[in-house]
Structure 1
């Protein structure tokens, strides 16, 4: 556990800040609102740090990070997906009494719900972006320098041999938006299973988002 925290500072640091924010908000505020605002801070900070890293990382950076963060990657993915799902569940509590709230407070709750849905969607597919990259560049065997063989799992179009986080983001967000693969071919069983898990989560996530959208629209009538 300690090594996982040390190897994933962006994730656990953002989570710690989000928990602190949720605990420090006024007790008079509803529990759902405090949970959502804490989540929004955590997810927003994580997205900022992750995308700064994505934009600054070359292939060598991705490869070295894959070796460091390879341990416990499935647990991290499960925790992240669970956190995103929990945040959506908190929206139910937040909007349960929407029609009875004062106008100003109701607008604030509605805005918080919309922001939470957007951040949760971005968070889920950003985590999968990182997971795809680390699965692709993860080592087979002992990972000794000079003898390391990566797992692979994708056949990218074109002649380029160096892929960074943005290439994996392209694949992850294509799954997230269309629930189908792009022009990147999946070549290993492990990557097919990961893509399947991502597609199934995407289906349920998008279904919940659609239900929330209908509920929010009905609340405004």
Structure 2
């Protein structure tokens, strides 16, 4: 049975996609982008609360139930993230007048939130894959025989900022495929976020 928290996550991801499309199509996208920022921020805060509540001794079956799904679940959060980032880039590229300070702040926050959403999605995907393939140890976390959500978030965000796996070892082809996809997407996301930052500073074109 699908948990209410999972249903809420999927609903919020769908909402992010819809609002992101509204940003792309709206004549005045600023208000819609504010809505997208709020939804994305709530999503990230909920995820952070789950992360803080998660403890090393927790039963994996308990918290894994909140990250149910497979590649479709990753696709949902990835799409929500991508639509938001594309909306911001499009808005900056097509702006006809100088950005005001509020619009700059909204655009910058949206770009950062889109970046966070991508790596949160991959953190959950790594967790699902790891426990689905047991007893094979697809990832080796030093000092963590039973890795929790914090470990997988550490792994995902390390890839996101450095395109490296740090001290975590990969021991399975399925994980390597995911790391490859994650690294390539992360490269383009980082480039887009830098582009947004430049656009915000220069006021558009």
* Correspondence 1:199 to 2:183: yes
Alignment of 1:124-203 (within 5 A): 124-138=118-132, 149-150=134-135, 152-158=137-143, 160-203=144-187
Contact 2:64/2:128 (8 A) holds in 1:
yes
Larger RCO of the pair (alpha carbons < 8 Å, separation 6+): 2
* Correspondence 1:81 to 2:65: no
Question: How many residues are paired up?
Answer: 200
CA shift in 2, pair 1:179/1:65, >3 Å: same
CA shift in 2, pair 1:152/1:31, >3 Å: farther
Provide the residue aligned with 1:144 in structure 2: none
Q: What TM-score, normalized by structure 2, do the two folds share?
A: 0.81
Alignment of 1:79-118 (within 5 A): 79-96=76-93, 98=95, 100=97, 106-118=100-112
Q: CA deviation at 1:196?
A: 0.8
Structure 1 unmatched ranges of 5 or more? 141-148
User: Looking at CA atoms only, which structure, 1 or 2, has the larger radius of gyration?
Assistant: 1
Q: CA deviation at 1:192?
A: 0.7
Alignment of 1:49-60 (within 5 A): 49-59=46-56, 60=58
Contact 1:94/1:109 (8 A) holds in 2:
no
Q: What TM-score, normalized by structure 1, do the two folds share?
A: 0.76
Q: CA deviation at 1:180?
A: 1.1
Q: CA deviation at 1:17?
A: 6.1
SS in 1 for 2:203: helix
How big is the alpha-carbon RMSD for the aligned residues of Structure 1 and Structure 2? Answer: 3.0
CA distance in structure 1 between the aligned counterparts of 2:103 and 2:135, rounded to whole angstroms: 47
CA shift in 2, pair 1:68/1:124, >3 Å: closer
Structure 2 unmatched ranges of 5 or more? none
CA distance in structure 2 between the aligned counterparts of 1:79 and 1:181, rounded to whole angstroms: 24
Q: Deviating runs (4+, > 6 A) in structure 1? A: none
CA distance in structure 2 between the aligned counterparts of 1:14 and 1:61, rounded to whole angstroms: 26
